[in-house]
Amino acid sequence: MIDFKEIISNAISNVTNISQYELKTYIEVPKESNNGDYAFPCFRLAKELKKAPQIIATDIKEKIEVNENEIIKIEVAGGYLNFFINKKLLVDEVLQEISKTEEYGKSEIGKGKNVVIDYSSPNIAKPFHIGHLRSTVIGGALYNIYKYLGYNTTGVNHLGDYGTQFGKLIEGYKLWGEEYDIEKNPIDELTKIYIRINEACKEDEQVLENCRNNFKKLENGDPYCVEIWEKFRELSLKEFQKVYDLLGSKFDSWNGEAFYSDKMPEVIDILEKTGKLIESQGAKIIDLEDKGINTPCIIEKTNGSTTYATRDLAAILYRARTYDFDKALYVTSYEQVLHFKQVFEVAKLLGLDEKYTNGLEHVSFGMVLLPTGKMSTREGNVVKLNDLLNEAISRAKEIIEQKNPQLENKDEIAKKVGIGAVIFNDLSNNRVKDEIFEWDTILNFQGETGPYIQYTYVRTKSVLEKAGQVPDIKDVKSENLLDESSIRTLKLVYSFEDILKQVTDKNEPSILSRYLIDLAKAYSNFYNENKIIVDKKDVQNARVYLTYAVGKVLKTGAELLGIEMPEKM
């Protein structure tokens, strides 16, 4: 499909001798159509060309050469160059492309590139709460989108199945295991043990020491500790799978922290050979002050047990060798910014090719907070994700019962609407923002929400049903789609692939979420301004085909976010 940004950036590059790739990233889409279809901000070139932006804009306009069949007009507005494209050409291009493929917007831009995405990663034997929702759905959306753009993508659920907390759980189970029925209700019962043992640790230093020793025994393969740990892990995974089934989450690897227990000695050995691993107060650390990081990276604790950092370094080594990654993304909360700064810096000492260390990226996100503050398993104030999702389904069903009591398959549709509302709510805002969790907000079915996008999609299906069929592309005349609301809608359809590329450039799924809202609003406006089923067949064919195009993009986009689309609501 014709790339107008490419055409514009190439023409400007010929005048300025600045890289076309760089120029293309500067091109904007104005909010108001009277400012053109694309705008180039010339202040971006002021430093390099040593001129005022308005002078640069005027100079470029005078010298630029473009095909008038593609770019019909160029205007200078302040320090901007505004480009007006041939609307009929745009309509023809979009409709032809839609007619050629079932996977509109799909690309081979990532062909031959490997991406590993580490996401979800709940802690074994702890509740799968709404704090884990963000990592699960952000990572899942990125996984889908990278794959759609042709990348060889591997999704890893790096389970929190190792660490000092298991020493605590093992000690709690030793002390009070008979009092709790962990087979029947594993997560709740293990959480009670965990809260209780934490209280005991606060009161008695010896209990805390026993917990630390339990973890050291687990690392050393003590049969009793390993047996209990395996039981906790197996029971937890069965519970987690219930949530993943509701969310539609899938992973290519479930290798958690424990998988790397036999791979850490190599990491320690490599680091020792660099001479950078030093002893400090009985622990082994890497000092990172010369890298601008004031907190050292602890590789081995005073009792000889390993840390999160050691396991993450072993994982980097393993993933580089196994997946030959170009990018390795870690989707975790911004609370772990320092941890990943340390780990990525220390990874440079592992003797890996720069390709791997340059490809490491922490995709951080804000916390999910309760109105009363931060959640804590230790304190026992968490909202379990399973409860949230089932409540969302239940509330969606209530609304369906009120609005459309005769609807068939209400349970299935309620599930799609309820889960879709939760996922979209999480992905609709910039990921780095904290999210205050409130039932009324998360399950609001009005305004800029998942259900609104689903409703718009269902409306497109209803129009197609009334029309009887999707017209053949040969019977669609683009001159019937040159009114403002049609063009606004088709310009958005045209930009779908570019939106997906922006998501992967910034690892920001909210770019796609906001786009889907814009597209749904534009179509609603088109629908309100244009009668679609009309006597004039040429006009009807064009408007029905636009409706078909919008429905296709809404469905594809929502599914890339992990949201299922109902056919009726």
Reduced 3-state DSSP string for 439-462: HHHHCCCCCCCHHHHHHHHHHHHH
CA–CA dist 178, 318 (Å, integer): 39
Consecutive H or E run containing 12: helix 4-16
Pick the catalytic residue: 87, 129, 461, 555?
A: 129
Among 448, 445, 453, 437, CA closest to 387: 437
Q: Are 175 and 272 in contact (CB under 8 A)?
A: no
Q: Does residue 339 carry a catalytic annotation?
A: no
Pick the catalytic residue: 5, 132, 168, 416?
A: 132
Instruction: Name the residue with tokens 């709690």.
Output: 172
Consecutive H or E run containing 41: strand 38-41
Q: Does residue 126 carry a catalytic annotation?
A: yes
3-state secondary structure of 31: coil
CA–CA dist 373, 436 (Å, integer): 9
Q: Are 306 and 299 in contact (CB under 8 A)?
A: yes
Q: Are 131 and 332 in contact (CB under 8 A)?
A: no
Pick the catalytic residue: 126, 362, 461, 491?
A: 126
Q: In sequence order, which residues have a C-beta less than 8 Å from that of residue 243 and are 6 or more positions away?
A: 128, 249, 385, 386, 389
CA–CA dist 394, 398 (Å, integer): 6
Bridge partners (DSSP) listed for residue 129: 384
**What secondary structure letter does DSSP report for 144?**
H
Which residues are the active-site residues? 126, 129, 132
